[in-house]
Chain A
């Protein structure tokens, strides 16, 4: 092509400052509703591949009730769904604070595909490469956390937290601390810590922030005692504030005979800078789908990793991979809490996380944290220029910030949720906060290392625009979204066990009896 005819020099209308975004609306049914008996897609076998006849003993008597569609219909269905969401690869996904929505390099999906056909029941002699990846990733995460051993079995962050609390319970039972029935956490630690502890039978004490936005250390002093089983804490907390007295927290709990467990689901601001063990923690967990770039997978399967000190290693979920010379073996630790998930774990995500770390190296990991903190502080600078937005406590933030629209909301009657929904008309979104809203009218932004300065400028410009709309025409913001796939939904069924339906089978049972 002649450069004189390049597109850039054609007289095209310049783009407006904010995108004229419009989401697709396909009214696409659920795939089960598209099913028609006998419709099939074909996957033609490789030439020369041997025909496999399943023995009668493993054949189903009845076919599974899967949707029946042709290949074209399947493709069209999922392409439409992909147009009806604001997925991480589609938008400037900095609004899902605490979730660490970073770019997941696509080359890692190719590596993951390479293990897709491994069967979980294959003998360990035939999957030595996979076991080596497990072993090497475990050693890397042990180095990153400073802890002794790591289990890669959990299929999510909460599963990893639950594995940790199960190990804490087993450790105390084995060492005469079985009467310890309280777990201490903080209001700005991920609520899965409180939830998992409670599910495991513990009474939960949640420390509130003090006037500086940090968990009240005097409250911790009053809380610890002979009933303390563990402290389960995030740092930096969901506010983005790093607790500089974290080692004192750990020491107080240790002095009372409890264990200290570090929720490092999101370790994106501290990679290569500080380690769980350096502050004295006995356990930690990582979400590989946050810090280590594997897909979040919308509620699973993701991947969690539990790190423990040498004292707790015998309690790890099993099996774990051990190295014996050049060979890798599966071994269940002597006092294992059992399985947290079937087989080894979510192997494709283990491969992706391994590839991501290998591509970056130690220096690269540190650069991730530094870039994430820099991006966050740049975005904070931009957001705080918007009239009506604030960052309570005014403290230095690491990798994310829980902001407040309180001032704007009091002035206009528009709530933070509604501003976030209106932002979706411009192709982005945000999440507010866990409950209760300690920060009034909250929104939580975490730009990670993935986004460019232009991305962050665009995001801040959208928020500034919507804030101005809220002043000029609150009704407009309240009525949003206008350019989206669906309008507002009534979320109350999500809290109603009789109404919610996470699967088609549940939907049919509850709503189409």
Chain B
């Protein structure tokens, strides 16, 4: 290379870093996850070595190479400081108040399963010997406290997996308007959430570009990215069951630098707004519409001017004005609302595995599906493309019904745009 090097990016930028030092431990050990201190100890016993710190260091190195002036703020020890030092960089430290836990609400999590209880997150397995203490000396609570302590940074980088993303999400929710943009450095076993960069180096590059406002008209642009997690216990039994927990604001990936044969603007057809427009165009008065969870179905609510929920199942009707019949309903409430009336369920694809039924929308139960008169399935072309030819999945809990749902369905991908896509019973897909 003989030409002048690209000018280093400059300008103010404060980046926070939180590392879940035990993320990814269970992967190498074949444990399909690292949630729970028991699992972590088992992983260490099987010879696993922590890798999250090293992956965070890689992201920090990349970030600083691209944007040398970046200031780093983190917490002492393996939850951040060690990674910055390993990257050969300096940082400011925030000490954690051992007493404070901003989000230690044991009732949080709509369906508290073995891992959904925030107090039972990656590090604090209630079944473990309480005297043994957490592996590596950190807990999910520490993650949340660190995020709270780092509020006010321009961008928060965290290294971990989906479980860590959930802890970050909990803490960020508590920060409200003060919440920084967030970006995940993939270091866990389960990395299905949309808030992660594809690789540690990619996280560093994306962070640098975000701080610089590169490729982003109007400066630092963010987009909503879903946080999903799997039930690890089920996953170990061979069941992939992603749940949608919420969304984080992440840096928008800069627009592609070449390949300008196709537009990529926010108004291009095929985006969630185009899908919402199509759904609304198909809606008829006098019919109840059951809107499942997810950003795509929430866009339908937005198009109707209704405050529907991201995570819950809502019921809406056309009218003047349009009406939110019920929000965040239970299975029993939903069944009452659709029984004996004309009703259509509107579902989107949850997580990267292609589930349309049985993940995050268990309220849409077999008897609800039996009662409704129609079903609309929504997915952006990008989400379908990411499936790599694999089918959409149904797991309602009733295998006979799942088989009946199998076949090809129309999937709405934009305004007056759709595809015909294969649906399979999850049991058949995973049984081979």
Partners in one complex: yes
* Contact for A495 among B62, B265, B416, B419, CB less than 8 A: B265
* A431 at interface by CB-CB < 8 Å: yes
Chain B residues within an 8 Å CB radius of A204 = 416-418
Q: Quick one: given A410-B199, A418-B257, are A491 and B215 in contact (CB under 8 Å)? A: yes
* A132 at interface by CB-CB < 8 Å: no
* A462 at interface by CB-CB < 8 Å: no
CA of A409 to CA of B205 in the docked complex: distance in angstroms? 12
CA of A221 to CA of B408 in the docked complex: distance in angstroms? 9
* Contact for A496 among B215, B265, B418, CB less than 8 A: B265
**Which A404-451 residues sit within 8 Å CB-CB of chain B?**
409-415, 417-418, 420-421, 425, 429-438
Which of A20, A208, A410, A414 has most B Cβ within 10 Å?
A208
Chain B residues within an 8 Å CB radius of A207 = 419-420
Total interface residues in chain B, CB < 8 Å = 56
* A457 at interface by CB-CB < 8 Å: no
Which of B197, B203, B260 has most A Cβ within 10 Å?
B260
**Which A188-225 residues sit within 8 Å CB-CB of chain B?**
191, 194, 198, 202-213, 216, 218-223
CA of A352 to CA of B217 in the docked complex: distance in angstroms? 43
In the complex, per-residue mask of B372-385: 1 if CB is within 8 Å of any chain A CB, else 0: 00000000111011
B258 touches A417 (CB 8 A): yes
> A20 to nearest B CB, angstroms?
7
A206 touches B419 (CB 8 A): yes
* A476 at interface by CB-CB < 8 Å: yes
> A387 to nearest B CB, angstroms?
16
Chain A residues within an 8 Å CB radius of B381 = 187, 206, 435-436
A413 touches B198 (CB 8 A): yes
B198 touches A409 (CB 8 A): yes
* B268 at interface by CB-CB < 8 Å: yes
B421 touches A208 (CB 8 A): yes
Chain B residues within an 8 Å CB radius of A212 = 389
CA of A432 to CA of B259 in the docked complex: distance in angstroms? 5
Chain A residues within an 8 Å CB radius of B419 = 187, 205-208, 219
- Quick one: closest B residue to A204, CB to CB? B417
* Contact for A222 among B202, B255, B270, B420, CB less than 8 A: B420
> A374 to nearest B CB, angstroms?
27
CA of A210 to CA of B380 in the docked complex: distance in angstroms? 17
CA of A35 to CA of B172 in the docked complex: distance in angstroms? 57
CA of A478 to CA of B264 in the docked complex: distance in angstroms? 21
Chain A residues within an 8 Å CB radius of B6 = 479, 482, 487
* A255 at interface by CB-CB < 8 Å: no
A492 touches B389 (CB 8 A): no
Chain B residues within an 8 Å CB radius of A22 = 2-3
> A429 to nearest B CB, angstroms?
8
> A445 to nearest B CB, angstroms?
14
A432 touches B258 (CB 8 A): yes
* B249 at interface by CB-CB < 8 Å: no
> A113 to nearest B CB, angstroms?
31
B257 touches A421 (CB 8 A): yes
- Quick one: closest A residue to B5, CB to CB? A479
- Quick one: closest A residue to B221, CB to CB? A492
> B200 to nearest A CB, angstroms?
7
Q: Quick one: given A207-B419, A223-B420, A418-B257, are A436 and B385 in contact (CB under 8 Å)? A: yes
> A413 to nearest B CB, angstroms?
3
Chain A residues within an 8 Å CB radius of B202 = 409, 413, 415
B258 touches A413 (CB 8 A): no
> A31 to nearest B CB, angstroms?
23
* A488 at interface by CB-CB < 8 Å: yes
A413 touches B418 (CB 8 A): no
- Quick one: closest B residue to A476, CB to CB? B1
A432 touches B256 (CB 8 A): yes
> A23 to nearest B CB, angstroms?
10
* B262 at interface by CB-CB < 8 Å: yes
A492 touches B422 (CB 8 A): no
Chain A residues within an 8 Å CB radius of B217 = 490, 492-493, 496
> A500 to nearest B CB, angstroms?
11
* B204 at interface by CB-CB < 8 Å: yes
CA of A313 to CA of B201 in the docked complex: distance in angstroms? 58
> A469 to nearest B CB, angstroms?
9
* B66 at interface by CB-CB < 8 Å: yes
**Which B259-275 residues sit within 8 Å CB-CB of chain A?**
259-265, 267-270
* B413 at interface by CB-CB < 8 Å: yes
B420 touches A421 (CB 8 A): no
- Quick one: closest B residue to A429, CB to CB? B258
* Contact for A420 among B258, B385, B388, B420, CB less than 8 A: B258
A474 touches B261 (CB 8 A): no
CA of A202 to CA of B415 in the docked complex: distance in angstroms? 11
Q: Quick one: given A222-B408, A412-B201, are A434 and B261 in contact (CB under 8 Å)? A: yes
Chain B residues within an 8 Å CB radius of A412 = 199, 201
Chain A residues within an 8 Å CB radius of B427 = none
> B4 to nearest A CB, angstroms?
7
A198 touches B259 (CB 8 A): no
**Which B197-247 residues sit within 8 Å CB-CB of chain A?**
197-205, 214-217
Q: Quick one: given A222-B407, A409-B198, A482-B3, are A475 and B65 in contact (CB under 8 Å)? A: yes
> B38 to nearest A CB, angstroms?
31
Which of A209, A420, A474, A476 has most B Cβ within 10 Å?
A474
- Quick one: closest B residue to A470, CB to CB? B201
* Contact for A413 among B205, B215, B380, B407, CB less than 8 A: B205
B382 touches A482 (CB 8 A): no
* Contact for B389 among A210, A417, A420, A429, CB less than 8 A: A210
- Quick one: closest B residue to A437, CB to CB? B385
* A483 at interface by CB-CB < 8 Å: yes
- Quick one: closest B residue to A419, CB to CB? B258
Which of B267, B385, B413 has most A Cβ within 10 Å?
B385
22 A/B residue pairs, CB under 8 Å, sorted by A:
A22-B3, A204-B416, A204-B418, A409-B198, A410-B198, A413-B199, A413-B202, A417-B256, A417-B259, A434-B262, A436-B270, A436-B384, A437-B382, A437-B385, A474-B205, A479-B6, A482-B2, A490-B217, A490-B255, A492-B215, A493-B217, A495-B263
Q: A198-B269, A491-B255, A496-B217 are in contact. List 4 more A-B contacts (CB 8 A).
A: A204-B418, A434-B261, A434-B262, A482-B3
Give the B-binding residues of A (Cβ under 8 A).
20, 22, 187, 191, 194, 198, 202-213, 216, 218-223, 409-415, 417-418, 420-421, 425, 429-438, 474-476, 478-479, 481-483, 487-496
